[in-house]
Chain A
Amino acid sequence: MRIKRASLLLSVVLLAAIAIVWYRATNVSDAPILQSDITPSQAQHSPSSAAAGNQATSPAVVEVDEHVNEDFADNFAVVASAYADEINYPPYSIPLRNSDSQLLQPNLYHAQTIPLENGAKASIHLDRFRFTYPEPVNVQLQLEGIQVYEVSLSLFSESTNKLLTTSKMQIDEKGYHTKLSAESDWDGPLRIEIEFKSGGQAQIVQTGFEYSQPVAKIMGVGATSIESTDLIIPVKVKVTVAGHYRLRANLFTADRQPIAVLTASSPLAKGESELKLRAYKAVLKGNSSPLLLNTFQLENRSAAPGEPTRYGDSERPEFVIDYSATELFSEESYKPSEEEKQRLEFLKSMAEKK
């Protein structure tokens, strides 16, 4: 009975609201409908002025804003759901999509534009952010709205400020370029300074990047096997400097569709060694052998504060991965760690209305 009375009351209120809205809409020269905020454009083009006979000119505009309240906690429900989806997969085998640009191109250099006088611009372009010895470094200076001359490059160590090399830059269709041949003492964060002259004034633009003397090298990939829920991909590594290593690599289908980013971490001694990448069965679903493994990031991680991360490289940019017998995967599913469960519970607790 109470519900019926409430429904009746609600219906009366709704009918009254509709009647008011209809009345206002049909008598809009008196007042715009349900305006909670009136924008400046409305103040300048009020309906009454339009009704006064301005139809011959541009039509007037009535802007009506409505503000809808939402509880802060509702946000967390969405995030909790997204996080729950993420931890369905183990951290060592995360699904990769075409839109995951950061993971697909982890070593991308983003050229920054430096604003110069009179609207001119300069930017330095590099092939990537981190280079490994003996890779050469191609440097391009692009300019807009400025004529320059006497363009030269100096390379410094960022940590010691030591000058490592200099080079004259050559003009080309995009601006100026040079190719730096690496030296064995280039290691760590480096700074490029490009000096040029324009109208008698000297100008220096600069950027930073990293150069690494490789501490390990990926030599190849061994025969795959199945272990519980995972496809094991043993990666052969020749280690020059012992340490705690982390290897990341991207797994693709044969037609180069992204499947997963795989991660393996382990302490490695100097010499021939191995890191086992694991592809979780769920990321392999619907995909067939062979697969492609590339985009290697091999790190000798910082063992203590102040110790820099060092990097390795790969003998080849890509390896083909053959596998079979996926039916041998165990029935189990990945179980999130206690920490991951706690994080999810935290997000859920935040989603509860206070």
Chain B
Amino acid sequence: MKQPSAASAHHFLPVKTITVVVVVLSVIAATAATFKDRNDFAGYTAGYDDMSSDSVKSVAAFMKVYKVLMSPRCMNCHPAGDQPLQGDDSHVHTMNVQRGKDGTGVYALKCTNCHQPTNTPGVNTPPGNPKWQLPPSDMKMVFQGKTPRQLALQIMNYNQNGHKNKKQLLEHARDTLVKAGWHMGEGRMPPSLSYNNFLIAWDTWINNGAYAPKR
């Protein structure tokens, strides 16, 4: 029986197959690496070297976060529709104001036309902050109507949370506009949790695996 020659032996190696497998594995590895930086949920946060993973503690903390985020001071600017909400009863903002493309309003009713860099004194006057606006129309970050699970998954989703990674999410709770929720002027109830306790809950949720509640 004729033995295969050295020159023809390499034709038995599936070179094309090996090349395809290597390329596919490289793509998977690259994608997995970016998920780690993006903090994409789906349980990926579990097992990080720099975090403990405790789903019970994480979920319990998130339920405190949820109560704050669903309070009028936060939810009013994270509406399901394209108009902000207003007041402790979260009615639709008067004067037919609209989100607009970038979240800053439209025409003669842009947010900062009335909302100043600081609170205006007195009841029924506009509260203020230098960054007063809604999320933009291509990243609405809706809170209104979300269940705890839906909200947690949304916040941890890089493509839905304003492109924030883990570090940026932790920093976001320290943002001036977030802090403003606790000092929004006369006649507006602050969230039920103090700001410091909110921070503790936020950090605890994220640093213990950012688990979403079952519902």
Are A and B part of the same complex?
A: no
